[in-house]
């Protein structure tokens, strides 16, 4: 073998050496949504290379062809325009932009994370009668809590789902913003306190995959990782049974202790979940001494707790209670689930109405 060939092979080996540690999971994902997103990366890269490769090649060619030592090159110092070159320079990028725009528009709607899946794999629509597996995700400092409302179980830093069954994630956070990301399953979706985001995805191949937060959230961010298990239907049922047998109930007090900042938490199982816990987390009222956000917004929608708001509630009470036009005084404001009964004097008399008195306001009739 000639020294020149040996040198060229050595340079080629050195060129691909940095790629030896690359993980091609994003381009060959076992989840259908992630695989379609990987295909977008490949298609977009190839479309851009249509411009990049010729530009680089022509740059090198021009540098060599019109070098100072090349006496055969045509010398035209007054040349300043070519219609053919102008058409080529502008038409090629325009075609690429149109193609990328069309692909982006189609994929934005097809792969919308809020859009329920209509297929579990290429050429395989979702079987009729198959309902998505609901998983409620809570990003804590610095760990992940997963609630399974259908199975009434919960886990910390471990997630599992049956293969070829759509998964419907509801995602929120306890304090700062995080990003829920399982590269093998689908793209990242932000988790924000007091807000809920959605993600629909499906896993098509059994295995164990890594999930993590892709958004920096503080000191324990680097350890905010978990395992996602793609299981057969039978193995998933066995996993659910293991969770039910290996943990206690997750009550509100347990959650309040769990949400305190901690790093590299081990996997935990909870055999039962307190009713309404996820709604309370989302509305930031796990502590029962705090008003839920949705209740606060309902009060704000009627004008708040100022004079205008209480006057609006009194108007509703007047219509419900037939107070015959007399003055109405707001005597108390209480929660809808307040166990203390209202005094009899505060309940207006009158016929029943389809527009009852709001539970948050008690009124005093004259």
Q: Would you state the pLDDT for residue 158?
A: 97
Q: Give the CATH number for residue 259.
A: 2.60.40.420
Does residue 227 contact residue 209 with C-beta atoms inside 8 Å? yes
Q: In this structure, what are the phi and psi dihedrals at residue 59, rounded to the nearest 5 degrees?
A: -60, -45
Q: What is residue 241's three-state secondary structure?
A: helix
SS (H, E, C) 67-83: CCCCCCCCCCCCCCCCH
Q: Which domain holds residue 60?
A: 23-65+84-111
Q: In this structure, which long-range contacts are made by residues 191-195, counting pairs with CB atoms below 8 Å and at least 24 apart in sequence?
A: 191/137, 191/138, 191/139, 193/284, 194/282, 194/283, 194/284, 194/293, 195/282
Note whether residue 7 is domain-resident: no
Query: Could you tell me where the beta strands, DSSP code E, fall in 24-110?
Result: none
Note whether residue 240 is domain-resident: yes
Count of C-beta atoms within a 10 Å radius of residue 32: 22
Burial class (CB in 10 A: 0-12, 13-18, 19+), 122: exposed
Q: Tell me which of 282, 317, 337 is where a domain ends.
A: 282
Together in a domain, 156 and 188: yes
Q: List per-block mean pLDDT (blocks of 10 residues) for the chain, which spans 366 residues.
A: 56 54 75 92 90 91 88 82 87 90 91 94 92 97 96 97 97 95 95 96 95 92 94 96 91 95 94 95 92 86 71 56 51 57 40 39 43
Of 242, 161, 269, the residue nearest 207 (C-alpha):
161
Q: Would you state the pLDDT for residue 323?
A: 46
User: Whole-model pTM?
Assistant: 0.75
Both structure tokens of 148: 């399974």
Of 114, 260, 281, 145, the residue nearest 213 (C-alpha):
145
Q: Would you state the pLDDT for residue 311?
A: 65
Q: Would you state the pLDDT for residue 5?
A: 53
Together in a domain, 140 and 274: yes
Note whether residue 170 is domain-resident: yes
Together in a domain, 239 and 265: yes
Place of tokens 């910390």: 156
Note whether residue 165 is domain-resident: yes
Together in a domain, 206 and 237: yes
Query: Could you tell me where the beta strands, DSSP code E, fall in 174-247?
Result: 178-182, 186-191, 197-201, 207-213, 225-231
Together in a domain, 173 and 252: yes
Together in a domain, 57 and 98: yes
Q: Would you state the pLDDT for residue 349?
A: 37
Together in a domain, 216 and 176: yes
Together in a domain, 52 and 91: yes
Cα separation of 266 and 45, whole Å?
40
CA separation (Å) from 91 to 52, 85, 88, 198, 339? 14, 10, 5, 40, 73
Note whether residue 154 is domain-resident: yes
Q: Exposure string (b/e) for 95-105, b if CB count within 10 Å is 16 or more?
A: ebeeeeeeeee
In eight-state DSSP terms, residue 347 is S
Number of domains observed in the structure of the chain = 3
Cα separation of 322 and 353, whole Å?
9
Q: Would you state the pLDDT for residue 27?
A: 82
Q: Would you state the pLDDT for residue 3?
A: 56
Together in a domain, 321 and 241: no
Note whether residue 289 is domain-resident: no
Cα dihedral 318/323/328/330 (nearest 10): -60
Together in a domain, 269 and 172: yes
Q: Would you state the pLDDT for residue 24?
A: 74
Together in a domain, 211 and 317: no
CA separation (Å) from 307 to 101, 267, 303, 353, 360? 53, 51, 8, 25, 15
Q: Would you state the pLDDT for residue 317?
A: 54
Together in a domain, 144 and 204: yes
């Amino acid at each position: 073998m000639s020294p020149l060939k040996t040198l060229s092979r050595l340079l080629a080996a050195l060129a691909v050496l940095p790629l030896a540690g690359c993980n091609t999971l994003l381009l060959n994902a076992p989840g259908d949504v992630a695989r379609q997103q990987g295909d977008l990366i490949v298609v977009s890269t190839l479309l851009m290379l249509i411009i990049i490769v010729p530009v680089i090649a022509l740059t090198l060619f021009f540098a060599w062809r019109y070098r100072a030592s090349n006496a055969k090159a045509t010398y035209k110092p007054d040349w300043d325009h070519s219609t053919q070159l102008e058409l080529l320079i502008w038409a090629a990028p325009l075609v690429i932009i149109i193609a990328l725009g069309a692909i982006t528009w189609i994929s934005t709607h097809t792969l919308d994370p809020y859009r329920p899946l209509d297929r579990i794999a290429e050429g395989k629509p979702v079987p009729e009668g198959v309902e998505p597996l609901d998983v409620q995700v809570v990003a804590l400092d610095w760990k992940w809590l997963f609630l399974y409302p259908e199975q009434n179980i919960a886990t910390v830093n471990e997630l599992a789902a049956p293969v070829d069954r759509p998964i419907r994630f509801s995602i929120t956070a306890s304090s700062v913003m995080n990003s829920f990301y399982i590269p093998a399953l689908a793209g990242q979706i932000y988790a924000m306190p007091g807000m809920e985001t959605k993600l629909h995805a499906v896993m098509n191949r059994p295995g164990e995959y890594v999930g993590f937060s892709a958004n920096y959230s503080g000191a324990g961010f680097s350890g905010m990782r978990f395992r996602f298990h793609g299981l057969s239907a039978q193995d998933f049922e066995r996993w659910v049974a293991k969770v039910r047998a290996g943990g206690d109930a997750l009550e509100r007090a347990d959650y309040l202790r769990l949400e305190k900042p901690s790093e590299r938490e081990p996997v935990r199982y909870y055999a039962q979940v307190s009713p309404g816990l996820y709604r309370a987390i989302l509305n930031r009222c796990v502590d029962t001494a705090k008003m839920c956000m949705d209740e606060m917004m309902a009060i704000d929608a009627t004008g708040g707790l100022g004079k205008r708001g209480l006057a609006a509630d009194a108007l509703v009470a007047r219509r419900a209670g037939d107070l015959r036009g007399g003055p109405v005084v707001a005597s108390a404001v209480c929660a809808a689930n307040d166990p203390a009964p209202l005094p009899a004097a505060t309940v207006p008399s009158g016929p029943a109405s389809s527009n009852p008195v709001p539970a948050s306001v008690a009124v005093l009739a004259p």
